[in-house]
Structure 1
Amino acid sequence: MVRVIITLLDSFGIGSAHDAVAFGDMGSDTLGHIVKWMAENRKNPDGSPRYLLLPNLAALGLETAHRLSTGEDMVHPISGEPLKDTALDGGRVKAAYTCAEEVSRGKDTLSGHWEIAGVPVDFDWGYFPDKPHCFPQELVDSLIREGNLPGVLGEKLASGTEIVRELGEEHMRTGKPIIYSSADSVLQIACHEETFGLERLYDLCKLSFELVKPYKIARVIARPFVGTKAADFQRVAAHRHDYAVPAHEETLLDKLVAAGGNVYAVGKIADIFAHRGITKHYPAAGLDKIFDATLQAVKDAPDRTLVFANFVDFDSSFGHRRDALGYGEGLEYYDSRLPELFALLQPDDVLLVTADHGCDPTWKGTDHTREKIPVLFYGQNVKPQQIPPLHIFSDIGQTLAGYLGVAPLGHGTAKNIWKE
């Protein structure tokens, strides 16, 4: 029974890409800087450093992949023991591992996921400028008119939690939605679930998705929140919904479903691929619930299934919010649950741990960072080895396409990671 399970840790970079200088990100290193921050700032009860420990990820080659990416060892080994000089860390690494660089022009979520699935983004997305009233007036006027709105609030680039705290009470009084953007190619709309209505918010986002098409915007995101006043407003991650442009070529997901296979999408994967090439969707929010849903999807998955899970909290809750402690402890939680996933793997299953871009929580600003990603293949049919660095994410999808018996993708080169 041939199955592939991808757990994608959204924003989990492992060192600057070669072109990071063009993005203002040279020197960024999500994993390395979290390790350093934890060593310097987190303490045990006796005052000694409480280091970041990720023994299961280390056994999959994460630490050695980081060294391959940066050429340097981290300030403290995440395995708890110093790295050995061999590629497989003295036999402790049980997976085929490497790092990969992106060729897509952006460092956004859609570009990273699509490129992994065999479709690099060779065009520039549209972006809204970082200035007051960042949206074109004709777009705002159309949204107000066609959405039958009394007006809008926001109209700037902002943190979602901060703009809800700033404008949430006025939104509840006036019924004016909060519209805002970020450094990504996105228009986001925040509305109160009760006073505005969740379904009404979704309808407004569907309208907005049509209105932003001329501006080449990748996504419109519904950001519902609850609470009674600024001090207790909370976004409802489980009710977030992304309206995304579909990929411009067939992805691994499309080809697998067309060939009679299955794609079980966990978390926001279905939204990222515009619900195309998806046979079953497992909605979930929060690291614990996403991991639970991933385990259930693996239990449910028949032969020739791709289970694809996105762990969005690393990006949305920790990376963008520049929360190094939360990011590190989130990694430890994910690592602690990996044995549950290992226990479900069948003899022909392949597990891939990877990411889509970086979001260094110690970096300036709140944007993604242009970084290499970890690529860790594990399974009984996988030969433990160090793979040369990949220079296009699509090598990942091409490798998995061959294993799943799917016709070759349009981009990438399959790597021989298999046992004889």
Structure 2
Amino acid sequence: MSRAFILLLDSFGLGATPDAAKYGDAGANTFGHIAGWAARSGQPMRLPNLERLGLAAAAHLACGEWAEGFSRRDGFGGAYGAARERSTGKDTQSGHWEIAGVPVDFDWGYFPRTTPSFPAELTAALQAASGVPGFLGDCHASGTEIINRFGDEHVASGKLIIYTSGDSVMQIAAHEQAFGLQRLYEVCEAAFKLVAPYNIGRVIARPFTGANGNYTRTSNRHDYAVAPPAPTLLDHVKNAGGEVVGLGKISDIFAGQGISRVVKGVDNMALFDALLKVADEVGDGSLSFVNFVDFDQAFGHRRNVQGYSDALHEMDARLPEFIAKLRPGDLVVITADHGCDPTWPGSDHTREHIPMIFFGPGVVPRALGVSDSFSDIGQTLAAHLGVPPLAHGTSLL
């Protein structure tokens, strides 16, 4: 028997896909542009553990370029490659579901880049259902920026802050104390029902605290999400009797489908601590799936290149702790769900290749090439765990 782990660095793209121009992302390259920025800033990136596993070599397969500051060309410790998304868009749910063997073969609904972004009939229905006096924002926005812009007025008036992005999403922000956390969740539950006719994938509750124009989002975020339209890798593992542990926002993204246990964490390093604990606990036949969300929400969307680089160094430095806990038969993959190039215009995700870096005690290091679907990741893990094959994807090992 064996165990499997998915370590998803949310938004860590390896360069634009061939169809990126359709999304306005031709030339985007999350990893490559961060490395270039770091080199030009006189502080070249040093990610020895990820580089040894094959990160820079995977990026080279994806975009044909070696990231600045990365010199290893052989002697890798993992089976490395990259993958292109088959699903349309560059949405969080699409990326995760496709990794788990269910590509999205339909078009999500999206709210336009207008102000207001949301249809008047939708906001009127939500106001009637929730009893709030009105809404602030109602536009495409960065979450941290919009809560600081409207936080004072929200606290004073009780009006909710609503906004969207390039994802198929409605986000609703409110002050945990002034408005109430449970009340925010109830409003989001109502909103989730109301956005169904618009084919929207998620409604996200975005609670925050603070005062006087200085507000901070808390870890009590909750996603109300559409469930995957077909069984995923998670379902296959759970139905076969294996434990499926969702760390971070994984359970929300899959609407709880196929999840045995939920583990939360306030940030990347708290989630890494939780992952170490889970690695000690889970048994044969298990799947542990962690989303390290800070790369995306704290640095990618905020276009914080320095912060993204620092977070990668922090992750790389802790990888040996996790590797030391691996047992014979374990298989790990480091991957992502889309890009979010912090040097790119705007604040949305970018259509990019994702890494596929497999490692573990029995993995033979080699180049895997570039897959045409993220589902190759899930199919590889399904084969490793001995569960029924997924409907999509090819096993790579």
Using structure 1 for the length normalisation, give the TM-score: 0.93
1:405 aligns with 2:386: yes
In 2, distance between residues paired with 1:410 and 1:351? 21
What letter corresponds to residue 53 of structure 1 in structure 2? R
In 2, distance between residues paired with 1:147 and 1:331? 41
Superposed, which structure 2 residues align to 1:266-277 within 5 Å?
A: 266-277=247-258
Contact 2:326-2:361 within 8 A present in 1 as well? no
In 2, distance between residues paired with 1:72 and 1:279? 41
Per the alignment, in what secondary structure is the counterpart of residue 178 of structure 2? helix
In 2, distance between residues paired with 1:264 and 1:213? 28
RMSD: 0.9
What letter corresponds to residue 55 of structure 2 in structure 1? L
In 2, distance between residues paired with 1:327 and 1:358? 12
Per the alignment, in what secondary structure is the counterpart of residue 387 of structure 1? strand
Q: Which residue of 1 aligns with 2:215?
A: 233
In 2, distance between residues paired with 1:380 and 1:299? 16
Q: Which residue of 1 aligns with 2:46?
A: 53
Q: Which residue of 2 aligns with 1:20?
A: 20
Superposed, which structure 2 residues align to 1:46-125 within 5 Å?
A: 49-77=42-70, 82-84=71-73, 89=74, 91=75, 93-125=76-108
Using structure 2 for the length normalisation, give the TM-score: 0.99
Report percent identity of matched pairs. 52
Q: Which residue of 2 aligns with 1:188?
A: 171
Per the alignment, in what secondary structure is the counterpart of residue 233 of structure 1? strand
Q: Which residue of 1 aligns with 2:286?
A: 305
Alignment gaps of 5+ in structure 2: none
Contact 2:83-2:353 within 8 A present in 1 as well? yes
Superposed, which structure 2 residues align to 1:201-212 within 5 Å?
A: 201-212=184-195
Out of 203, 206, 226, the position equivalent to 1:220 is: 203
- For each residue in 1:149-189, what CA deviation from the matched residue of structure 2 results, as whole angstroms up to 9, or x when unmatched? 21222211111111111111111111111111111110000
Q: Which residue of 2 aligns with 1:168?
A: 151
Alignment: residue pair count:
397
In 1, distance between residues paired with 2:313 and 2:145? 27
Per the alignment, in what secondary structure is the counterpart of residue 363 of structure 1? coil
In 1, distance between residues paired with 2:395 and 2:69? 33
Per the alignment, in what secondary structure is the counterpart of residue 59 of structure 1? helix
What letter corresponds to residue 113 of structure 2 in structure 1? D
What letter corresponds to residue 55 of structure 1 in structure 2? P
Runs of 4+ in 1 over 3 A off after TM superposition: none
What letter corresponds to residue 355 of structure 2 in structure 1? P
In 1, distance between residues paired with 2:117 and 2:371? 37
Per the alignment, in what secondary structure is the counterpart of residue 234 of structure 1? strand
In 1, distance between residues paired with 2:348 and 2:246? 26
Deviation, 1:255, is: 1.2
Out of 126, 129, 137, the position equivalent to 2:120 is: 137
In 1, distance between residues paired with 2:16 and 2:327? 35
1:333 aligns with 2:326: no
In 1, distance between residues paired with 2:72 and 2:288? 32
In 2, distance between residues paired with 1:225 and 1:119? 33
Alignment gaps of 5+ in structure 1: 42-48
Deviation, 1:74, is: 2.0
Per the alignment, in what secondary structure is the counterpart of residue 411 of structure 1? coil
Contact 2:275-2:290 within 8 A present in 1 as well? yes
- For each residue in 1:179-237, what CA deviation from the matched residue of structure 2 results, as whole angstroms up to 9, or x when unmatched? 1111111000000000100000011101100110000001100011111210x21111x
What letter corresponds to residue 65 of structure 2 in structure 1? E
